[in-house]
Each structure stands twice: as C-alpha cells, then as structure tokens.
Structure 1
C-alpha cells in the first residue's frame, strides 16, 4: 500500500520518464543481464559501506575515461569494475553508469554481482576481478527477431564472418573495441560490436571474445540478433544500428550532438523540478496527515511557513562547486545510503554536504525525515540542518560542519582516543542525553531517533556532542503509547522489545543510549552486527571469561575486557565494575564518578522498557539531582543462532533466542528482518 503522499510523486516521476523516453538516446538503458553471486557476506554493514565507497570511486572516473576499477576497505575489501562501451558519449556513459549503480545494490548482501546494460557493464566482488576473462557465470542470449527464410543462409554466413573480423581486430586495438556492419541485401544489414574490458591483457581479451563469438555464432544464428555477456567482454550483433547514433554523437556531428545534449539538459532540469514538486506534495500530504491526527492546523501551517522562510533550498551546482565536485579529498565519511563531504560556500561558510543516492525504496521516507523532522527541532545538541537540494538521481542535505567528525572516530581508535578526556566523555554523555530528552519531551512533536550509536554522535571543535542522522526517526502524537513499525536501526543497539514486537517507544532510544554510555566508559565497541564476530557475541550477551580476581583492579585487560561488554552485568553483581573502566581513564576520575556512569548505562539497558528511566530523568541522574540511583535489573541476553538472507536487497534476517528477564517476550525463536542503520 503506497503512502497517500507518495502517489503524486510517482506520477510526476512517471511523467518525467515519459519525457525522457521521447528521445531514444536518452531512455534509461535496458538491462540485458544481472547476476548475483551465491555467497553472502558475514559483515553486511561493513560490506555495504565499502561497496558504496568502491562505486563512488568508479563514478569519479568512468564518465571521463569510460573505464574504471576500484577497491575499498579492508576485511572485507570490495572491488569494482565499470566499463562503458566505446560507442557511448561521455554524457550517456554517465547516465548508463547511474542506472547500473541503482540496480546493482539489489544483489547485496551477495559478495559479488555483475550487470550488463545497453551501453555499459558494472561489477563488484570481494576479490579482485580485473583479470577475469571468462567464468562460470558467462551467458549469451539469442534474439527473437527472425530473418526471411530465403536470406537466412546469406545472413548467417555474412554475420559469422563479420563477428570473426570484429573479434580479431578488437583484441589488437588499444581500447579492445571494434564495430562494423555488412550488407546482406539492400533491405538487410547486420551490425556488430566487440568490446573487452580494458583491465584485461591481450591474451585474456582474445580468450573472452573467442568464447563469446562461438556462442552467438554457433548457437544463435540465423536469429536476427544475439549478445554474449562474459566476465571480461561483451559481443553483440543485430539488424538494428544499435551503435550508429551514439557513435556520431561522440564522434563529432556537431549539430546532432548539440541537439542531444540540449535535450539531456532540458529533460534533466524538468526531472529535477518535478522531483522537487513531488517532494513538496509529499511533505504537504505527510503534514496534512499529521494535522488530522493532532487536530492542529495552526501548528502545521507554521511548520510549512518556517520551511519556506528558512531558505532551505540550495542550488545543486553551488554544492557541487563547494565540494569540488565531491572530490575524494573532501569526503568526511561514508554510509550505505551515500557519503558526506566538506564544502565551502561562496561566503566562506564551511558545511557538510550529505549526498544520498536515489537507489532504494526507502529514499523518500528517509529524505522526508531528514528535512522535515530536523528542521522543526532546534537544540544545542542536535546537528543543525542548513538546507537541501533535490536534483536528478541524487539528493543533497546541507548541515553545519563539525570539525571533529563523529564519536566513533575517536572512541574506537587507540591513538585518537586519548583526546577523549574524562571531562569530555562526561560532557558527551550528558549532551547526548539532553538532546534525546529534548526530542522525546521538549520539542513540538515527540520524536524517536531509532539509530542512536557512536557514529551518529558528532563532535564540534570543543568536543561537544550533537546528534545527527534523522533518516530513520519517527514522530507520534501525545495520545499514542507506541508505534507499530518495521524494524530499522543497527543490531546491538536495538531494544529487545522492538525486535520482538516491532513496537516503538522512546524507551528504544533509551536502550541505545545506554549501550553508547557503556561504550564510552569502557572504551570498547559493541558488536553492531551479529555477523561481526564468529560467535555472534554482542554487548549484553557474552558469558564471563577469564578470572575476575586480580590484585590490581585495572590489570589483565586482555583477560577481563576481551570478552566484551557482557561482563558488565557479571562485574556489577560482583561489585568489580571498576575493572572494566577504560585504561585511558585510569587516575583521571574517581571510582564514584565512573561507577555512577556504569549504573546509568545499566539502568538504560534493562530488559523491561518500563524500568528504563526517561531521558529527562537520565539527565537529572547525571547532573546530580538523583543522589541515590536505583539498582538496575538484568539486561537481555541475545544468543545468535546464525543468520540468513532475507529476500529483499540489503535486508538481513537473523534467528535469535531471547533469554533473561524479558517479560514481554514469550517466544524463544524469532526471525528478524531489518534494515541496517547507516
């Protein structure tokens, strides 16, 4: 069921698509073949991040050279290879790549995939594929078009000879590319092409082309068209001049090329305008729905007016220039849905530009949340939204620039962590609590963030905390006790009642916050993905390992902390919590100060949401208003039974058993489908 506000947007986009299809050179290129690998990554979140980084590197080069390879990350490393067929103009090469970039992520979390489009090829893998020429995934396709019976022998002989000549010439050319045609009769011409990826050597190219030629000539003729799609090359023949118009466009038929470029620019502009209008319609419909639920016309009208008055709209070209065309040197971070770049506006203002790819079904919801929710909340501990831009296949969000990036960059780096003094850590814990308390209670609408974690807590030049990334946030009315919604967030930070029942309250944020507090105090990272460790251990789940009887309360960190945060509860019961304090904080705070933060963290991660304190109460505890803190109850222990892929894109299912004091859950085995937080 489509959201009511989404239908006008889809209709507008459909109209834009019809405008584009009016020019045959500028339609979305047809997909000939898409192949998803059989193996799946064990680290879906890490793989997604490296995948986006690898695809971004290809984007930086393919539109200028027509070919690019890339690699990103380490364990897992994601390799990429992109090749535009040489008859494409640079503009159409970029358009073809954009289309393939949108479709290829549908194979995730597979560790490899490739896609062949009408004009380009794109592949990713967890191994280097640059030298692959042929493999078991090679395929060929014979067209349905038939040749007049009397002309079939001549057509078969001429086409076979043509493809033989093209493959022989292509392997000896620097760009491994050759096209040509042969006239069979006055009314029938055969057109052909052969293209190897430029990463191959001459031997590999020859091997690939020979296999492709043998398949389409030996198994498809006298069909009127065929194509071979191998690991390292592409061959095609047809009775239609599929490469002729593109070649003239790229080769210098001045008027024709100029006309096509004008159409591209015009259509792109129209599409950008229509998307903007569609988003405005969507915003208004969402606001109208909220108004009907809350019977508060004046409040929502004021929100709409504030958006208009805030000058949120940025020109796409200005942001491209501000980031030096999204240059790699300006990249601040990377997520599964896009990247963040530093930019400098003409007036010298430094900004952070979040670049989202229009490539998932959740894009509209996430963009809506980022723009509307964060625009209507203003707090010193929330990242300030400066504006946005929607154009073409991507959208841009403009935020205030924070020089110290995110908390995880410091907390989980053994060298940078020393900058996080006790005072700074305490201030970060308090600031994050104040920001969440504002979202839950003090803002105009109740907002649940849903993805509180160290990477979503940004730090300014004085290491003050600001909560960011509202793509998964949700708001609800005062008379609602909870929201029933699909799971979204980051495993290891998601509250157990949310996983089990899908019922969302502010206490889900409290749980996530408690995990972050324990991370800050111990200096250890919680497992954000069940597949991140061989045993599937996460913060509240591991059993006690090693001895707890040490003469020095700060000694033997390898024995006591290596088994991760699950020890927190056992150490609490044994009154030895101080042993889990980050060694970098030894002597920098009193035991009383440290134990207070440990207890606050444990209170926030209790299994029962009703026992977790509200965020305003957490602030009071931290600031000393609560002298005697209550005793926490046992947190939930989640035991992994292994994971398996769900049927959709980057969704992931894990089979879990829920044990411990968790009264809301009566089942032991559940299947969880969720989107990884970015």
Structure 2
C-alpha cells in the first residue's frame, strides 16, 4: 500500500467544491446544445475508418484542437497538427467572417464539444451555424471538395415555400457572392439582392477556408453553389452548401448582419446577453476553470456581472486540504512526459509523478474540457473523497488553478489488471491465488460501494482497465468519473448511456435505467474474463467457432465442459471444483434478468464459501453474436435504441432471453476445502 499525503486521506470534500460542481453544471446547461442562443449543428460527418491506436490518437486529437483554439480566438481561423505515425492528427477550424469574436468563441466551443463523438474514427467534421471544425489522420487543409460535401435546406417558419420571386433573386445572388468570394479579403463575400416590389429581398454569403489558394477557393464555392441551386431552390427559404473547403449560404434573413442592424430591438439585446453568458460558460468548458475565471476577473470592470463569485470558490479550493499546485504536478510528471504515462481512459490520461519529498503519485489529466469534463472532474472529487475501503483507490487531492484540472491518486506500481490479464507473457504473474484475490477483492469493494459506504454509489464502468493492482497484486477499483450516487428512496437513475460496450448490462443499454445491477453485470463479465484470460469484447473475432466469450461459456456450461475454457496457465494451480465455482458466480452475475443477479454482498458470501449450494444461472444476454467464422443460423438481428440519448445503434443478433440452462449436478457442489482455507488466511 502506498503512503498517503499526510492529513488528507480522511477529510471530506470541501463544501466549496460541491458548490462549484452545481455552479459548473448549471453553467454548462446554459451553454448546452439544445438551449436557445447556442449555434445550431447543420451536419456532422464521421470517417468510416477507425484509427489503429485510439489512445494515442485521442491525445494528439486534444492537442491539435487546443492549438486550433488558441488561433481561432485570436483571428477566427486555426490549423494545426500533432503526433507522429498512427497518432498524427491534423485539424482545421474557422468561423465565418460575420460572427463576432464572442459568437466565434461560442461556436468553436460547441463544435469542440460535439466533434469528439466521431472518435475513434480517424477523421470527422462538423458544420455549425457560423463555424466549421475538422480533424483527420491525413493533411486535408488544402482540400476544397470531396465525397462528403453536402447541402442543407430549410423551410421558412410557416413550413411553406418562400414568397414568389424569391427563388430567382436568391439564385442570382448566390451566383454573385460565389463569383466574388475568391478575390475578396479573407475569401469572404456577403450581399443582399436589390429591393424590389416584385420579389422579397434575399441574403447570401460565401467563404472559403484560409488554407486554400484562390483557384481552389473558386472551385470550392462553384461546387457548393451548384449543389445549393440544384437541391434547395426554388422550394427552400434557406440553404447551405457545405464543402470540405468552403460554405455557401442564402436566406430570407439578414443572417450576416448584427442583430440590432437587422431590427432585433429589445429582444436582440436580451439575446446578446444570453449569448455572452453562454459564451463565457462554454469557454469554461473548453479552456479550463482557472484560465477563464482569471480572464473574467480581469474584465470585471467591463462586464460588471461577477454574479457567481467563482474567483472566491477557486481560492477556497486552492486553500483546502485537497489542493495541489499545478506546477508542482507538472514538474512531478516531467511535463507530462509520455515515458511516465501509465494509461488512458475515455476522458483523460494518467501519469506517474514523483513529488519533491519523494512520494510517488498517479496524476489523472482530464483532456475533454466539456460539460462531461466538469461532470467527470467534480464527480470524482466529490464521490471518491467520501469513501474509504482497502479495495478502492485513494484520492489524495486535485489541482484547479492551472490551465487544466488534475486529479491526484495513490500510485499503484502494477498498473491495471488488463496489462497483465491480456498479455501472453505478463499473465504468468497472475496465478490462481492472485486471480481469486482480485475477483474477491473487487467484489468486496463493490459491495462496499453499493451497501456499506455513507452514500450508495454505482461505479458504471467496471472493467479490467479500471482495476488497479498494488505491489502484491491486490485489487483497487479506480476511475469514478462515471459513477453516480443513489438516494435511499430511489429505485433507479435514468441517465445518458455511458460505460464500455461488452461490460454494459442489457437493461441499461435499452432503457438507460441505472441500478447497482448494472455494476453486477459488469463484474460478472470481468470474472469470466479473469478466469478464461480472454477479452469479452473481441472474443467473436478471435474464436475459431465465431462465438462470443459469453456464448462459449454458456455452451460449455450446458455441456459440463467448462474446464476446457479455463486459462491454460491455471490448470495445474486449482481444482476443478474451485474453477467451476468461479465460473458459476460469474454466470450468476451476468444473467440477462437484473432481478436474478445476486447483490454484491451475496457474491462475497458465495466466493467466501458460506453458500453451500449455488442457484442455477439463466442464459446470459448477447450470446447470439456471430462472427465471420460462424455459419449463419438464419436468425434475425435486433436493433436497440437508448431512450436516454435517442441514439440508435445496432447490436447484431443480440439475445436478451432468460431461458434457463440445463445444469449438470457437478455444478451444485459447494466450495471445497482449498477455497475455505484461503478465506481463513485472508481473514
């Protein structure tokens, strides 16, 4: 067990941190994608190929987008690249010239929040109402047109066609602005049609990205022009030509004029206030708490609206027992040197650091500065600081004063379980005794979270990479960024889908309803991975029979041949009864029906040998997944829809039936003397 930072481990989180959590999340709601005053998303295009190294690619992605942001905020345009080899990421961002600096900042912040949804695709682009952002593994900055070019057409407020004469006026105007843009300053030109009693006025603009030359710009706007004229006119009141290197737009509204110039009046003033506030909070989500609030304090005489007292909150956290200095942690990790990188999750990288007094720590560097980033950071601080258990990783503190926020954990020298379990050589270090202790210790940690801690916590992302190992290979559950706490009277939480496919329970995928049973399902999958030494998520591709790990285990369970799936490294280290008992517990936890999964305290009893006869498991879900090596059985496929995020996704040939298995009498046997002796030694 690693040494703790003196005087910190048992203190509750500072109240100011909780206040700041609510403040940030409320702010993020103001600046949310579905709120008034935020730029509308016109189109998102994600590449068809996946990057071969998602973790390294993500790091380069974040670095590139941060470099672009620094330029976009200064000039409205930025292009950058970072990384090497498979990790190389190029990016380009540009605001259309008619956006104010504040609106440009808001638009870029919104695009940066949404574009990561394309990952792990090796390319993606997003068009918003006023800005464009793109990333890719290849240098695309000189590309004017490509196969992903498109058009977006919109009707007027009444849903009917535009007034007579508008189509002709708009078409003529679009031709004029696209002809003028390649030679105009910044490749931008906007104009309106002449006033006429016979036809309503039309407004149009064309702009190329600054990375193009004049001839490429001319080709780009000509292509976008033809697409808009062909697809949107005469029926649409507004149309966008969205190309790789330019945007062409026409409308019945003077979209490129300031709101007051367009006759907005008093309502436009209110709209401006909303945008300014949303822009400030979007900036918080993009560039970090401390940086933005420092700017706000420096502009206080101009804004005269420091209504949230955020500067005082930051100072309160900085003075608390949880606070680490940003520069101290940066030096401790050798400037976040890749040599010190321990691993990476969905929202951040973890680095080993050595503090000036010689103590080793693990520093989590959150890299998605979005609303989810605020959720992640303060969720971990709030929850982890309130729980203490031998099988939970200890939070030592955090840093909120620098340009990014950092979490500081105890350092565990053997990193995470997946580094050993799925490596052909390293897995030799995981003998039966150690694997059983990992299985039991993880169960004890989850039981504490679900039942014994002061607050009822659901982890939501139990998997091998989130089980850390100390110097004796004892397990500690880590990464509480997605965790949620329950009130005593709550039966479930309805949340957006989050977690790792392959470990997510079927009821959570389908309905978005979260209970502790989702953790139990994930734990069951993890147990089966530990005892077989196989990954669940890619087991279809690696199976000679084209079956998933779940399907193989279920097939052998029914046939009474589970020992054939036991990791070969373990076959001389445990008895058949011991191995089958663990298989049995894993299957009980991974049942399709959440009501049949045993609570974690019961799982601990089963593993500890206090249950003589275990109940028979029912069929797990997702066992009808067929790989390319398998013959088709003629079954159909099931398309599932998450009610929480309204995002359809396909899980090919999934089954969530609860058909009860035939069971061999050998699986009714109780624990043997070796497992009982092991528990006496642990106690």
TM-score band w.r.t. shorter chain: 0.5 to 0.7
8 Å contact kept, 2:107–2:128: yes
Out of 61, 66, 89, the position equivalent to 1:55 is: 61
Say if 2:79 is the partner of 1:67: yes
What SS does structure 1 have at the residue aligned with 2:92?
strand
Aligned to 1:508: 518
Out of 467, 482, 487, the position equivalent to 2:491 is: 482
Which aligned pairs between 1:414-425 and structure 2 lie closer than 5 A?
Answer: 414-425=424-435
Q: 1:501 to 1:113 in 2, by over 3 A?
A: closer
Which aligned pairs between 1:386-465 and structure 2 lie closer than 5 A?
Answer: 386-390=396-400, 395-465=405-475
Out of 130, 134, 143, the position equivalent to 1:123 is: 134
CA deviation profile, 1:391-450 (whole Å, cap 9, x unmatched): 699643322233333222332233443333333322221221221122233322332323
CA deviation profile, 1:185-207 (whole Å, cap 9, x unmatched): xxxxxxx9976565x79975674
8 Å contact kept, 2:326–2:402: no
Out of 544, 555, 580, the position equivalent to 1:570 is: 555
Backbone CA RMSD of aligned residues: 5.9
Aligned to 1:468: 478
More off after superposition, 389-398 vs 449-458: 389-398
Out of 220, 223, 232, the position equivalent to 2:245 is: 232
8 Å contact kept, 2:340–2:352: yes
Aligned to 1:375: 385
What SS does structure 2 have at the residue aligned with 1:566?
helix
Task: For residue 375 of structure 1, report the CA deviation from its aligned partner.
Answer: 0.8
More off after superposition, 374-383 vs 565-574: 565-574
8 Å contact kept, 2:38–2:106: no
Q: 1:649 to 1:72 in 2, by over 3 A?
A: farther
What SS does structure 1 have at the residue aligned with 2:583?
helix
Q: 1:490 to 1:278 in 2, by over 3 A?
A: farther
8 Å contact kept, 2:493–2:513: yes
CA deviation profile, 1:352-372 (whole Å, cap 9, x unmatched): 224153424x55554443222
Aligned to 1:9: 23
Say if 2:594 is the partner of 1:594: no
Q: 1:350 to 1:86 in 2, by over 3 A?
A: farther
Aligned to 2:368: 357
Aligned to 1:630: 614
Which aligned pairs between 1:545-564 and structure 2 lie closer than 5 A?
Answer: 559=544, 563-564=548-549
Aligned to 1:541: none
What SS does structure 1 have at the residue aligned with 2:610?
coil
Q: 1:491 to 1:317 in 2, by over 3 A?
A: same
Q: Distance in 2 between matches of 1:644 and 1:50?
A: 31
CA deviation profile, 1:592-616 (whole Å, cap 9, x unmatched): 4323322222233344555544433
TM-score (norm 1): 0.61
Out of 96, 102, 114, the position equivalent to 2:113 is: 102
What SS does structure 1 have at the residue aligned with 2:370?
coil
Structure 1 segments unaligned to the other structure (5+ residues): 18-28, 142-155, 171-176, 182-191, 221-225, 242-261, 282-304, 535-556, 664-678
Q: 1:653 to 1:661 in 2, by over 3 A?
A: same
What SS does structure 2 have at the residue aligned with 1:404?
coil
Aligned to 1:267: 296
Q: Distance in 2 between matches of 1:86 and 1:322?
A: 42
Q: 1:266 to 1:474 in 2, by over 3 A?
A: closer
Task: For residue 41 of structure 1, report the CA deviation from its aligned partner.
Answer: 6.6
Structure 2 segments unaligned to the other structure (5+ residues): 1-17, 32-36, 72-77, 154-171, 191-204, 234-238, 259-290, 626-636, 662-683
Out of 500, 503, 520, the position equivalent to 1:493 is: 503
Which aligned pairs between 1:659-678 and structure 2 lie closer than 5 A?
Answer: 659-661=657-659
CA deviation profile, 1:280-307 (whole Å, cap 9, x unmatched): 79xxxxxxxxxxxxxxxxxxxxxxx9x9
TM-score (norm 2): 0.61
8 Å contact kept, 1:79–1:129: no
Q: Distance in 2 between matches of 1:647 and 1:110?
A: 24
